[in-house]
Chain A
Amino acid sequence: MKNIKKVFPGVVALEGVNLKIEEGKVLALLGENGAGKSTLIKILSGLYKPDGGQIFMDDKEIEIKDVNHANGFGISTIYQELSLCPNLSVAANIFALDEPTRFGIIDDREMEKRTKTLLNELGIDITPDVLIKDLSISNQQMIEIAKGLSKNPRIIIMDEPTSALSNKETEILFKIIRKLKSEGKSIIYISHRMEELYEIADDVTVLRDGKYIGTVKISETASDELVKMMVGREMDKFYPHKDFKYLKDERLLVIENYNKENFYNDINLYLRPGEILGLYGLMGSGRTEIGQGIFGILKKDSGEMYIHGKKVKVENPLDAIEHRIAFVTEDRKNEGLVLSGTVQENITMANIGKLLNRFRFIDSRKETRITEKHVDNLRIKTPSVHQIVNKLSGGNQQKIVLSKWFEIEPEILILDEPTRGIDVGAKFEIYKLMIQLAEKGVGIIMISSDLPEILNVSDRLLVIDRNQIVAELDPKDTTQEKIMTYITGKGEIDGERY
């Protein structure tokens, strides 16, 4: 790809971007959110048309008209967002629109046989007639990969394939990638996980703000150099410095014997003002459910809550908000934002009561004033407070979700995977924000499955396994390995990478 350009109304998404992929090589594509990686890939896979530049294959210039056309060239894309039909079987998904037929009728047996062969070859242990919805997220991702490979492509694009995979499955994936390499296939690999790139990639192409920064051999480039290419400045550290003492050694929040059958058992914990309490657990361990229990959206069966030593009743989100507890969900788009609403409506939605004038009508001038304050504070990039949120970038959308919860002036802030899927620069900003809040006396519960993050950011750490708290640790004198020894369900539940 040479000199690729893509313009969206109002923004130049890509300009002068080059990409070269050789046979039997793995090319990593690196860049912050909004750097243009997805746009570039969508051009290559036929979803977008470039506004400038040329694409060559085997030294011949080609034009990719649409997705089918791209498949015809042997380009197959495995997306991060699952594109499977949950109501159909594994086999039916892999052979979607390409089913083997006999006399015009789909030959289920043949389809399942071929699926079995394909999965065996890839080392994936899943039966072909299971429905997709009955598989775990990580197994679904593996099927997604198998589907992408079933068309026997020459160029395979993988967009964050490991973000939903466990350690074991990531290794299977890497084995598959090495095998594909040896067969002379080319792979374009996108990941935020730097250590993965060193394990699997040959070359790295870096994009920044839609521009081509360069391509380097990974074996000759240090990771901080890559980060510098990516963010455009020196990043001497990934975690902000914090050296504050607890403002007060008192109990802001105490949870006693919280229980909810099948979701969380015997939860006892406390939170101090100004403290960042880490909740670490694997996917399915019950870590999110504990947060939801505290917030009241997954109502407890039994148990007591105390705030500032006073017994309080939090049985639904409204109670929680009244007691100034905020919950920033993991899935921003589906759980946090009204995408069709304006910036203003999204920021004020947790505290509409504050906007009412004495006739109980919404005071729109006041609403705008409140919104502008948050837009300034968090440096949300939007043309206007009346902008529809859908059109803003992911980073700005996340800032809007945070603003919404800051607007209730929370005393207790629960953050569920606050940095999942965002780049180093934005991560750093979020950590800084958390520390600023903590310094003001806010107690923060950070739910995370990112071990380095939880070790570096939290003041105290609870390990969650099988819906229970199994250990309380001091992050300063523990290690990733030690934390993992507390997780017993490793082999049985859907683990993530550590």
Chain B
Amino acid sequence: MGKGINKITDSKVFKSYGGVLIALIGLMILFSALSPHFLKTNNILTILSQVSIIAILAFGMTFVLMIGEIDLSVGSIAALCGIVLGISLDKGFNAMISIIIVLMVGAIAGFFNGFIGAKFKIPTFIVTVATLGIFRGIGYAFTDAKPIQINNSTILFLGNGKLFGMLPVPVVIVALLLIVGHVLLSKTKFGRQAKIIGGNKTAAEYVGVNTEKMQVIIYIIMGIAAAISSIILTARLYSAQPNAATGYELDAIASAVLGGTSLSGGYGTVLGTFIGASIIGVINNGMNLIGMPYFYQQIIKGLIIIVAVYVDVRNKERMIDV
């Protein structure tokens, strides 16, 4: 028995994700004790569908944080993308064309963030605080602050449909992106270069990494992730709303940090981020199920972010220790 436990605690998966996995399982036990509905397959799939929107943003955020930068504008990008989707469908473009347009808008928004930061050497915190307002404002301007209803069945299927009668489409999308993102970050030259930039930007430049180009590409990836996330969000809301996804950037950052990504760069995994996003999803869902008022949920989520950052700081101290 003891040997079996040692085997688990020594394994690579446990070492990397042990802490968050225990937290996730603990929360699930807690909520299933508090609510009989929690552990039902249906509810689990609902949680995963809800999680998908934040998780996809958080995947992009993992890359951004990995190079030691930050993006506070992702919620605004997602809202803007949703509106562009609505307008595009309204103008009579089909779902396929509309999706391509939305992905391009996300990529351009990301490019703007990355390029301004890298080229003019402005801290990305400042750049994205500014674009948080800019992108949100453009969305409001496009719609006169009114929501746009979505009737296109293909788009609605992407947010609400089921494959084989049971598997929600958002869950399938998130699973695919999880695999792609995880492999890209931990198995390719691109991912390794991102890690080196986050660990030591000067050293990265000395070994021939084009740090400016990498930063721009990573913000484009972030923008595309926000666009994908916005399609699911818009479909689930059956409408494009200029005030959608407000505050999602913080959930995305919290997910990544909970999952072990370092806020100062150089360490993180997409899989860890997914676990982090699941924790936030479980908390949201569980608190709803037990009927906790919305403002208490806000307080508890805020406390969780503090805990997450504390864990990050402590991990780093452990690294610096002799």
Q: Could you list which residues of chain A lie within 8 angstroms of chain B, going by C-beta atoms?
A: 8-9, 11, 13, 295, 297, 316-318, 320-321, 327, 329, 334-341, 345, 349-350, 352-353, 355-356, 360-362, 388, 390-391, 404
How far is it, in angstroms, between the C-alpha of A337 and the C-alpha of B207 when the chains are bound? 11
Knowing A337-B200, A360-B188, say if A297 contacts B205 (CB, 8 Å): yes
B319 touches A388 (CB 8 A): yes
A335 touches B319 (CB 8 A): no
Knowing A345-B196, A353-B189, say if A390 contacts B202 (CB, 8 Å): no
| A residues in contact with B200, CB < 8 Å | 334-339
Knowing A318-B210, A356-B189, A404-B207, say if A341 contacts B202 (CB, 8 Å): no
A337 touches B203 (CB 8 A): yes
Query: Can you give 12 contacting A-B residue pairs, CB < 8 Å?
Result: A8-B322, A13-B322, A297-B206, A317-B206, A335-B203, A338-B196, A338-B199, A338-B203, A340-B262, A349-B192, A361-B183, A390-B319
Chain B facing A: main interface SS? helix
| Least CB distance, A112 to chain B, in whole angstroms | 34
A-contact 0/1 string along B136-150, CB 8 Å cutoff: 000000000000000
| A residues in contact with B208, CB < 8 Å | 316-318, 320-321, 350
Contact of A345 among B192, B205, B322 (CB under 8 A): B192
| A residues in contact with B210, CB < 8 Å | 316, 318
How far is it, in angstroms, between the C-alpha of A55 and the C-alpha of B199 when the chains are bound? 40
B195 at the interface (CB under 8 A from A): yes
- Which residue on B lies nearest to A404, using beta carbons? B207
| Least CB distance, A27 to chain B, in whole angstroms | 25
A-contact 0/1 string along B156-199, CB 8 Å cutoff: 00000000000000000000000000010001110011011001
Contact of B207 among A9, A349, A360, A361 (CB under 8 A): A349
| A residues in contact with B193, CB < 8 Å | 352
Contacts A338-B196, A355-B189 known; 16 new A-B pairs at CB < 8 A: A13-B322, A295-B206, A297-B205, A317-B205, A317-B208, A334-B200, A338-B203, A340-B262, A340-B266, A341-B195, A341-B266, A345-B192, A361-B183, A361-B187, A391-B322, A404-B207
| B residues in contact with A317, CB < 8 Å | 205-208
A-contact 0/1 string along B295-322, CB 8 Å cutoff: 0000000000000000000001001111
Most chain B CB inside 10 Å of its own CB: which residue of A297, A327, A336, A338: A338
| A residues in contact with B206, CB < 8 Å | 295, 297, 317, 327, 329, 335-336
- Which residue on A lies nearest to B200, using beta carbons? A338
| B residues in contact with A390, CB < 8 Å | 319-320
A350 touches B188 (CB 8 A): no
How far is it, in angstroms, between the C-alpha of A356 and the C-alpha of B267 when the chains are bound? 21
A350 touches B187 (CB 8 A): no
Q: Could you list which residues of chain B lie within 8 angstroms of chain A, going by C-beta atoms?
A: 183, 187-189, 192-193, 195-196, 199-200, 202-208, 210, 262, 266-267, 316, 319-322
Contact of B189 among A11, A295, A340, A360 (CB under 8 A): A360
| B residues in contact with A329, CB < 8 Å | 206
| B residues in contact with A334, CB < 8 Å | 200, 202
| B residues in contact with A356, CB < 8 Å | 189
A362 touches B207 (CB 8 A): no
Q: Which 4 A-B pairs have the closest CB atoms?
A: A338-B199, A318-B208, A350-B207, A317-B208
How far is it, in angstroms, between the C-alpha of A232 and the C-alpha of B187 when the chains are bound? 46
- Which residue on A lies nearest to B208, using beta carbons? A318
A339 touches B199 (CB 8 A): yes
A362 touches B319 (CB 8 A): no
B188 touches A362 (CB 8 A): yes
| Least CB distance, A295 to chain B, in whole angstroms | 8
How far is it, in angstroms, between the C-alpha of A339 and the C-alpha of B204 when the chains are bound? 12
How far is it, in angstroms, between the C-alpha of A335 and the C-alpha of B320 when the chains are bound? 17
| Least CB distance, B198 to chain A, in whole angstroms | 8
- Which residue on A lies nearest to B12, using beta carbons? A386
B192 touches A340 (CB 8 A): no
A362 touches B192 (CB 8 A): yes
B202 touches A335 (CB 8 A): yes
